Amino acid sequence: MTNSIVFILGVAMIGFIAWWFFGKHEVSQQEAVVRGDHQEIQVSVDGGYIPQTIVLKKGIPATLIFNRKDPSSCLDQVVFSDFGVHEDLPMKKDFPITIMPKEAGEFDFACGMNMIHGKVIVK
């Protein structure tokens, strides 16, 4: 009986690990709202970035409004190395970061410890 339980738990753990590393996980993606000559998007910081992928239009200044809900020290900063941004995020307050997406492409951003990641796609 004990051997059966250990076997079942072992198979379950192997299945979970395979899913975690090789499974196709959904990523939240959202386009910024364009208003005249500016675009804007809200980003919630709660265990990660929501949305995790931000879609912007090329050549239009963009404001990303971060609201940090997670007290983890890992998420107290956000870094957009391609845009020269490294900012501290206050808890439970909207914090705007303005960037200028001059060229199309994919640009990564991360927490200060480079453990939690997001992506900006400029079209």
Contact 77, 100 (CB under 8 A): no
What residue type is 21 in one-letter code? F
What's the token pair of residue 100?
């200028």
| pLDDT higher than 60, residue 25 | no
Give the tens place of pLDDT for each residue, 33-90: 998 899 999 999 999 999 999 999 999 999 999 999 999 898 999 999 999 999 999 9
Stronger pLDDT, 13 or 97, i.e. the higher one: 97
Going by C-alpha positions, the residue among 60, 92, 61 that lies closest to residue 75 is 92
Task: Describe the strand order of the beta sheet including 105-111 as a list of residue ranges.
Answer: 29-31, 53-56, 117-122, 105-111, 77-80, 85-88
Contact 38, 105 (CB under 8 A): no
Contact 59, 37 (CB under 8 A): no
Which residues are within 8 A (CB) of 50 and not within 5 positions of it... i.e. 6 or more apart?
28, 43, 44
Going by C-alpha positions, the residue among 45, 58, 48 that lies closest to residue 91 is 45
pLDDT value of position 19: 66
CATH code given to domain 27-122: 2.60.40.420
Going by C-alpha positions, the residue among 100, 114, 107 that lies closest to residue 53 is 107
Residue ranges per structural domain of the chain: 27-122
